[in-house]
Amino acid sequence: MSRRILKYAILGLLSKEDMSGYDITSEFKKAIGQFWSAKHSQIYVELKKLLDEDSISQYIEMAGVKLEKKMYSLTTKGKEELQNWLLELDENVETEKDIFALRLYFLKDIPAEEIPALFNNQLKLRTEKLAFLKEQFSFYFGVEKNPLNLDAEELGHYFVLSKAISREENYICWLNKSLEIIKNKNADNSLR
């Protein structure tokens, strides 16, 4: 958890178009939510902070008769900060936390007959996520398959979706391979 990643995630989203806190919250439920996310409570606080620091500016848009949407835009300062952050080189790979893998490390304390259920649950979750991602992908890039024909904005989206898909496919593949090993082991033991 390092130096204000949420700040830059928000600046990045606002560099595409002006958004409200609610819009930003929604974005984290789509493609980019595969690699960073935050709850609305954190986002509203961060927006206030960014406003204070003059990285963003605010204006009101009416949504209906009474409902005020607070829209945010990047300021010059915000644009510069984003630019600089985008060019930073990471110095090390951060731990990508994964509770299932953590549990599996403690395999010896899981009764053998319970293990397949754990794998199957994970397989279900990951398969659902992959389906969601593929749906998104074909919605945005279904017709135009060749990434060379995409503009820079679409290409960012393309990379992130293709990355998420490849991550989930790889995860599912590893789950299947590992589950096979477990099944063979269980079969072995019942022969004895």
Touching a second copy, residues 94-123 (CB under 8 A): 94-110, 112, 114, 117-118, 121-122
Select 27 or 168, whichever has its Cβ closest to DNA. 27
Touching DNA, residues 85-124 (CB under 7 A): 97
Length of the chain (residues): 192
Of 53, 80, 54, 60, the residue nearest 20 (C-alpha): 60
Radius of gyration from C-alpha coordinates of the chain: 22
* Burial (Cβ within 10 Å: 0-12, 13-18, ≥19) of residue 66: exposed
Touching a second copy, residues 31-90 (CB under 8 A): 31-37, 82-83, 85-87, 89-90
Q: Pick what 138 binds: DNA, a second copy, none; C-beta below 5 to 8 Å, kind-dependent.
A: none
CB of 68 to DNA, least distance (A): 7
Beta strands in the chain, from DSSP E residues, in sequence order: 19-20, 56-63, 67-74
Touching DNA, residues 13-72 (CB under 7 A): 20-23, 25-26, 37-42, 44-45, 47-48, 63-70
4 binds DNA (CB under 7 A): yes
d(CA 62, CA 73): 16
The correct pick among 42, 45, 131, 159 for binding a second copy (CB under 8 A) is 159
Query: Looking at this protein, which amino acid is placed at residue 191?
Result: L
Residue identified by tokens 């789509």 is 30
CB of 157 to a second copy, least distance (A): 7
Beta strand 56-63 pairing with 19-20: unpaired
185 binds a second copy (CB under 8 A): yes
**Residues touching DNA, count (CB under 7 A):** 31
Classify residue 95 by its DSSP letter: P
d(CA 128, CA 122): 10
CB of 179 to DNA, least distance (A): 27
Binding site for DNA (CB under 7 A): 1-6, 20-23, 25-26, 37-42, 44-45, 47-48, 63-70, 97
